[in-house]
Amino acid sequence: MSDAIFLFGTLRYLPLLNLVAGRDLTTSLGAATLEDHAINTVAGADYPCLVHAKGERAEGLCLRSADTGVRDRLAFYEACFGYALESVTLANGEIADVFRPLKEPESDAVWDLEAWSTRWGAIALEAASEVMSRFGKEAPEEVGARFGPIRIRAASKLRAMAEVEREGAGAARPVAAVKKQSRGYDRFFAVDDLVLSHTSFDGQRELEVERAVFLMADAVTVLPYDPQRDKVLLIEQFRAGIFARGDRYSLSLEPIAGRMDPGETPEDTAHREAQEEAGVSFARLEFISRYYPSPGGTSEYLTSYVGIADLPDSIAGISGVAEEGEDIKSHVLSFEALMSLVSGGRNANGPLVLSALWLAQNRSRLRMLANAGA
């Protein structure tokens, strides 16, 4: 094992390196080159890989004299992604260790650190903060197995922090202070137990409360609507939440819905999920609202749309992404059937009720636009 570590990828982003290491390493770094190698982007991903390339030069950083604590933290972080140390000889003849996967992945374009840090740096920092909170508490393989949800939650948190100040009631209310926080469950979703304090409305008392929060991701719902035929498309699928409540009718009719991937806009998610779940393409999206569907206990934040589409009866069928365990059946219904479903309370899920009521208010306008060729 060498005293030096060659850094070629995302850990060259100094804020990320220092966060993972647990201290500022700026003065321990120097420029370094690895010959006959290149730094490419992993195929279908946004992160880099080190590949053998005769005559190329991989420019990176060399971390020298890293103590055991720093090395252990870096090794934990990289092991979350299946990376381990191997020795290489740098262009100056120095022996250094480098974190690499057991098998060289397929790659395509040359990876650019500046472009990556501009687009993904903030998400990487937020996700790494959660990853490193598990250092010394869990095996890296366990943390790495849920890195997808960790990254999605990180993106959701950053969107929330970037929102402009709200108007109206509650706009000037101070943020609660966290007195204690512990995580009771962490897989696809997570549950945090919180002890919070905040000032009372009259300003006279400091209130301390205990709360449990179900941590979810930002998500999008979209109700496909064909204004020419005056029909909508709903998807039917099993919902564990309904089942867990003891409801015998655990198959739910809903708008198309899905979590926002990091880097996506709500519109991106709406179009992607419509293709994945029902094979539907939209001419345009009509914005309904952004909202917390159940703010007392979950962090889920929804953006809802009606999507203008052609909906022949033949579009109904069975679909879904098999790798995600989706088993989805789609149905084409008349507007009248939709409203009967909602008003009768036979399919009482929030996004469908909200979307149907919005459509009832805007249906005439949408049909007029369609008839006018807009």
The number of C-alpha atoms within 13 Å of 223 and in the hemisphere containing its C-beta is 30
Catalytic residue among 114, 165, 167, 324: 324
Residue 319: what pLDDT?
A: 80
Domain residue limits, the chain? 4-132, 174-215, 218-371
Residues in binding site: 257, 273, 277, 326
161-188 in b/e form (b: 16+ CB < 10 A) is: eeeeeeeeeeeeeeeeeeeeeeeeebee
- Is residue 324 among the annotated active site residues? yes
Instruction: State in words which class domain 4-132 has.
Output: alpha beta
Residue 93: what pLDDT?
A: 96
Q: Average pLDDT of each block of 10 consecutive residues along the chain (374 residues)?
A: 91 98 96 97 94 96 93 97 95 96 88 97 98 97 97 96 69 76 93 93 88 96 98 96 90 96 97 95 98 95 98 88 81 96 83 97 96 78
Please tell me whether residue 87 adopts helix, strand or coil conformation.
Answer: strand
Residue whose tokens read 């850990």: 11
Residue 123: what pLDDT?
A: 98
AA letter at 352: L
Residue 166: what pLDDT?
A: 64
Residue 305: what pLDDT?
A: 99
Residues in binding site for Mg(2+): 257, 273, 277, 326
Please tell me whether residue 186 adopts helix, strand or coil conformation.
Answer: strand
Fold classified for 218-371: Nucleoside Triphosphate Pyrophosphohydrolase (3.90.79)
- Under 8 Å CB-to-CB from 146, ≥6 apart: which residues? 186, 187, 188
